[in-house]
Amino acid sequence: MVILKRVNDIEEYLNLKRVKGNQIGFVPTMGALHSGHISLVERCKADGGVSVCSIFVNPTQFNDKSDLEKYPRSVEGDIELLLQAGCDVLFLPDVSDIYPDGEAAMPSWDFGYLETVLEGATRPGHFRGVGQVVARLLQVVQPDRLYLGSKDYQQCMVIKKLAELTGMKELRVVICPTQREPDGLAMSSRNRRLSEGQRSVAGLIYQCLVSIQAKQGSAPFAVVQKECDDLMRAKGFVPEYIALAHADTLELLEDYKPGTPMVALIAAKIGEIRLIDNLVV
Ligand code: PAF
């Protein structure tokens, strides 16, 4: 695996690969890699061409500065995992490579409605930051294919919209399934921060999503939502939202709508740690 830190170096390296007829597949990450990230790298490799992974903890997408400071970092372990997965290129830039003229000088894209609901509403400015960094990374890597995990359902929608807004018509955005622990907990870098006690109840988020899915047709969504809220609070969670939405537009639904593609989404804090998950209903 080649590890490149400077924008010029990776641009030069990938240009040579492109000239030789290689396609480029790209997995952007913030590090603290787990099997979910590695499944994206594996899919990227299986699709052929040169596989590129980036590790960059992007300051502009953290609306809470203490969340940024506490975000887990484990570059050496990450390199080991990427080597084992057979990743071809690791891009490991600094803030000054990504934002050479400062963060404020970067263009910011408007994602409209998506910025006003769920993650957009609870983390103001978050998607602006995601848009900024992903646009910059795409500008540098110029991939043919971009691999994202569906755990970040709304982020996937935002990045697809970014590709439209920036006119990247050729870019194929490949959304891959959420990887889960045996108790259903969605794999996430943040899981490392859970205490033993918090970890022992964290699978409840997925159980709630499954019950929202299973009770379609037998109970109104408001009743199931309340049951989930009570269950989660009893185990020490503070739910931020337990929502049902149109799977294509994220328009919030008050009740199940048979025949409509739907997704259930939950965000909750346990102690200081904020977890999100979703399930297509
Ligand atoms: O999902 C993430 O890890 C980040 O939001 C991303 C897409 C790498 C942008 O920083």
- Could you report the per-residue pLDDT of 23-33, keeping only the tens digit for each? 999 999 999 99
Same domain, 72 and 151: yes
Read off the DSSP letter of residue 251: -
Same domain, 22 and 134: yes
Residue nearest to atom 1 of ligand 1 (CA): 29
What are 162-209's pLDDT values in tens digits?
Answer: 999 999 999 999 999 999 999 999 999 999 999 999 999 999 999 999
Same domain, 122 and 238: no
* Strand ranges inside the chain, DSSP E: 2-4, 24-29, 50-55, 89-91, 145-149, 172-176, 237-246, 262-270, 273-280
Instruction: Tell me which of 144, 176, 208 is where a domain ends.
Output: 176
Same domain, 171 and 64: yes
What are 96-120's pLDDT values in tens digits?
Answer: 999 999 998 989 999 999 999 999 9
**Angle, CA of 183, 276 and 61, to the nearest 5°:** 140
Percent residues over pLDDT 90 in the chain: 98
What is the domain count for the chain? 2
Same domain, 159 and 99: yes
Instruction: Tell me which of 125, 147, 176 is where a domain ends.
Output: 176
- Domain presence at residue 66: yes
Same domain, 165 and 200: no
Q: What is the pLDDT of residue 159?
A: 98
| Cβ contacts of 157 within 8 Å, gap of 6 or more | 114, 250
Best CA proximity match to 176, nearest among 266, 48, 80, 42: 42
Range 211-221 average pLDDT: 97
Ligand 1 centroid – CA 262 distance (Å): 24
How many angstroms separate the CA atoms of 280 and 264, rounded? Answer: 6
Same domain, 141 and 202: no
Ligand 1 pocket test, pick from 44, 54, 58 with the greatest ligand atom count within 8 Å of Cβ, gives 58
- Domain presence at residue 80: yes
Same domain, 208 and 93: no
- Domain presence at residue 17: yes
- Domain presence at residue 184: no
SS3 label, residue 276: strand
How do beta strands 145-149 and 24-29 pair? parallel
- Domain presence at residue 85: yes
Count CB neighbours of 218 within 10 A: 9
Same domain, 245 and 165: no
Catalytic residues: 37
State the CATH number of the domain containing residue 170: 3.40.50.620
What are 119-173's pLDDT values in tens digits?
Answer: 999 999 999 999 999 999 999 999 999 999 999 999 999 999 999 999 999 999 9
Domain range for 197? 189-280
Instruction: Tell me which of 143, 176, 209 is where a domain ends.
Output: 176
Ligand 1 centroid – CA 30 distance (Å): 6
Same domain, 130 and 233: no
What are 226-268's pLDDT values in tens digits?
Answer: 999 999 999 999 999 999 999 999 999 999 999 999 999 999 9
Residue nearest to atom 3 of ligand 1 (CA): 29
- Domain presence at residue 265: yes
Ligand 1 pocket test, pick from 30, 146, 175 with the greatest ligand atom count within 8 Å of Cβ, gives 30
| pLDDT band at 80; cut points 50, 70, 90 | very high
The rounded Cα 182 to chain-centroid distance in angstroms is 20
Q: What is the pLDDT of residue 3?
A: 98
How many angstroms separate the CA atoms of 224 and 207, rounded? Answer: 12
How many angstroms separate the CA atoms of 265 and 212, rounded? Answer: 10
- Domain presence at residue 182: no
For residue 28, which atom of ligand 1 is closest to its CA? Answer: 8
**Angle, CA of 228, 111 and 142, to the nearest 5°:** 110
Ligand 1 centroid – CA 214 distance (Å): 31
State the CATH number of the domain containing residue 216: 3.30.1300.10
Same domain, 167 and 194: no
Ligand 1 centroid – CA 133 distance (Å): 8
What are 59-70's pLDDT values in tens digits?
Answer: 999 988 999 999
- Domain presence at residue 275: yes
Same domain, 83 and 142: yes
Q: What is the pLDDT of residue 61?
A: 96
Q: What is the pLDDT of residue 63?
A: 87
